[in-house]
Amino acid sequence: MTILSVNINKIALIRNSRGANNPNVVQVALDCERFGAQGITLHPRPDERHAKYSDVQELKQTIHTELNVEGYPTEKFMQVVCAAQPAQVTLVPDPPQAITSNSGWDTKTNFALLQEIIQELHAHNIRSSIFVNPEQEMIEYAAKIGCKRIELYTEPYAANYSFNKEQAIAPYIACAQFAADCGLQVNAGHDLSLENLAYFKQQLPVLHEVSIGHALVCDALYLGLEKTIQLYREQLK
């Protein structure tokens, strides 16, 4: 079974636009779970333009499924996640000014940094995941670093899916199996949608978890949140 973790950053962005607590991020997370989400993902950035650091602790104390917190391991980020102890932290190499994540880690160049961070996460009983491009060398070094999972960056797959889906998926098939052979569990995320998710799942039998936010929230504007989550779950069966 592949787990659907719903990224609620876009909900937080709407909340922040009015400076109040509407929509209530925690209540939306609970509703996502009630509608079938098997996890909740949050990606607080240093400027807190959508998810806030305070959301991490509040969600950890409230939700019933796994909390996955994404982000770059700044000192503040590490303080927050080590205090909250979510089920999983996914390390993402995005600088503070980035609009969204646009590449995976160079795990070879950043080996020492990532190894130190991973050890700290494990010391706090937090499962570690490293966001990587579908490149076997990066996965090999991620395994050497000692993380438990990788998250495959899927924007290149999504961008090329409508042109040649077999070519688009090929590096992900090879890298997912390579990761499994290295003893890593495989997550995936970025621009996965109702259009391309089912094929991605079918081709990657080792896929453990997908994290989806932007496309899911956009679909929910038309279909409603409950129906949308059900449709995404259907794609993963």
CATH number at residue 76: 3.20.20.70
The pLDDT value given to residue 205? 95
- State the Cα–Cα distance between residues 70 and 53, nearest whole angstrom: 11
Which candidate in 33, 50, 70, 135 is catalytic? 70
Q: What percent of the chain has pLDDT over 70?
A: 97
Banded pLDDT at 97 (limits 50, 70, 90): low
Give residue 35's pLDDT. Answer: 98
- Residue 130 has a pLDDT of 98
Which residue out of 43, 50, 135, 209 is catalytically annotated?
43
Average pLDDT over residues 91-99: 78
Residue range 103-107: mean pLDDT, rounded: 94
Does residue 8 register a pLDDT over 90? Answer: yes
Helix, strand, coil fractions of the chain, as percent rounded to 5: 50, 15, 35
* Residue range of the domain that includes 148: 3-235
Catalytic entry in 33, 50, 151, 190: 190
User: Any catalytic annotation for residue 64?
Assistant: no
Q: How far apart are CA 165 and CA 121, in angstroms?
A: 36
Measuring CA to CA, which residue among 204, 141, 143, 135 is closest to residue 171?
A: 135
More confident residue, 180 or 1: 180
CB 163, CB 198: distance < 8 Å: no
Task: Check if 190 is active-site.
Answer: yes
142-176 tens-digit pLDDT: 999 999 999 999 999 999 999 999 999 999 999 99
pLDDT value at residue 103 = 87
Q: What pTM was computed for the model?
A: 0.96
Once rounded to an integer, what is the mean pLDDT over residues 53-62? 98
| Average pLDDT of the segment spanning 19-28 | 95
Average pLDDT of the residues of the chain:
96
* pLDDT at residue 94 in the model: 82
Contact yes or no for 154/193 (Cβ under 8 A): no
Average pLDDT of the segment spanning 207-226: 98
Tokens representing residue 83 in the block: 């205090």
pLDDT of residue 223: 98
The Cα–Cα gap between 12 and 50 comes to: 5
pLDDT of 102 reads: 75
Segment 22-50 shows an average pLDDT of 96
**Where would I find the H helices in the chain?**
9-16, 25-35, 53-62, 75-84, 111-123, 136-145, 155-160, 165-181, 197-203, 214-223, 225-235
**Residue 40 · residue 9 · CB < 8 Å:** no
pLDDT score of 208: 98
208 catalytically annotated: no
Predicted confidence (pLDDT) at residue 98 exceeds the cutoff of 70: no
How many structural domains compose the chain? 1
Q: CA-to-CA distance for 128 and 26, rounded, in angstroms?
A: 23
The SS3 call for residue 227 is helix
Q: Can you tell me the distance from the alpha carbon of 157 to that of 171, in angstroms, rounded to the nearest whole number?
A: 9
CA–CA separation, 185 and 176 (whole Å): 9
Nearest to 100 by CA among 7, 19, 17: 7
The CA distances from residue 94 to 1, 3, 55, in Å, are 29, 24, 20
The predicted pLDDT at position 32 comes to 98
